Structures are given as structure tokens and as C-alpha cells.
Amino acid sequence: MRAFDQAQYVASIGKLSQLPPTGPPEIAFCGRSNVGKSSAINALTGRKRLAFTSKTPGRTQTINFFDIGEGLRLADLPGYGFARVPQAVRAQWDRLVGGYLSARETLAALVVIMDARRPFTEHDARMLDWAQPLGRPVLVLLSKADKLGKRERSVTLAQARDALAARGLRGEVRLFSSVTRESVDEVRALIVGWADAWNAEHRHKKTPGKGE
């Protein structure tokens, strides 16, 4: 297993023109504001404050990149669906996140994080409709699963799997908690699998001497 605990901050970008050069396959973490994207990255890397978290929705406004060794990069995306955000900020989100997701050649997979207590909101559905044509594997994490009771857990999980299949998305669903670290090991393994698959598929396509 790759060294998640040796994750390194790479860059924060507020404009597409600032994107770091493509390198390792990237796994993008998207989801509504305050759903726990940055907390999930911290849980996966075993670090408290690698990605900044906050009780105030809309904390992450930039795309933040973190390298896990040489063959994997995580991208923490700004959240969507926060009602009190002015229209100009929303337009900026569309440009930045939409532009990144649709054009980044090294995007290997998407992690779409939803609140396990209120999954598949209208905004989440739009995000998945967005993701579908990208053709990348999708992992839906039902976050804050520590807040669910036993019965709610199985119902939520089954409903989420159905919702994903109904949209024709290739992917996985897991209950997740940054607090109890539920599913952390499994999610690490899924991410590494997608990054390795991406590396295996793209490495042999490289033309020697031309770089990437």
C-alpha cells in the first residue's frame, strides 16, 4: 500500500491557468459544502490538518492538490450547493471545477462525498450527471456515517447503490466516517487500485523522448 501518511501538499489554485503540470493520476474529491471532503482527505492521509477543515460551509474555495508518493495525487475541490454563496462565486466554481473535471487528462477517478443523513440532494444528482459522461470510476462516500443508526445504515447504503446504478455509473458506494475512520483502509485500497490502473494504461502509451 502506498504511503498515505507521507502525503505532501503540492498547490492551491483559484484559476485554471494556475493548474500544476499534469503528473500522477489524480483522484478528485467533490461534494456539497461542509460534507467532509477535506476531513476525508485528512483521515485517508492520517493527518490532522493537511487539508483545511471548518464548521463554516464554503471553506475550501480553491482546488488543493496533495501527492501521495510518486504515483498518486489527491485533489480537494471547493464544495457546491451552499445556498448563501453569491452568484459570482457560483459562476467561479463552475468555471474552476467544471473546467478541471472536464479537461484534466490525468483525472483517474472521482470521489463524490454526500452526507449519509441527506444523500442524493438535487446538487448531488447534478454532480453525478456531470460525472457520468467523464467515464471515470466514481466512489460515493456517505460521510458522517457515525451519525447514523444501525437500520439507517443498511437502508442508506442500499438506496445509494440503486441510485448510482440507475444513473449508469461505474463505481462503488461506502459508508464513511472521518471520526471513527470507518472505511478508511478500504477507500485507500480502491484509490490505489484506480491510480495503478490509470498508470498501467497510460504508461505504455507514452512516446519515449516526447515526455507527457
Ligand X SMILES: Nc1nc2c(ncn2[C@@H]2O[C@H](COP(=O)(O)OP(=O)(O)OP(=O)(O)O)[C@@H](O)[C@H]2O)c(=O)[nH]1
Which spans of this chain sit near Mg ion (rule: CB under 5 A)?
Answer: 37-38, 59-60
Work out how close the CB of 141 gets to ligand X at its nearest, in angstroms, rounded to a whole number: 9
Work out how close the CB of 115 gets to ligand X at its nearest, in angstroms, rounded to a whole number: 9
90 binds ligand X (CB under 6 A): no
CA distance 145 to 170: 22
Question: What residue number has its CB nearest to ligand X?
Answer: 79
151 binds ligand X (CB under 6 A): no
Work out how close the CB of 149 gets to ligand X at its nearest, in angstroms, rounded to a whole number: 14
Q: Which stretch binds ligand X (CB under 6 A): 33-41, 127-135, 188-196, 201-209?
A: 33-41
Site mask for ligand X (CB under 6 A), range 54-73, x = bound: xx-xxxx-------------
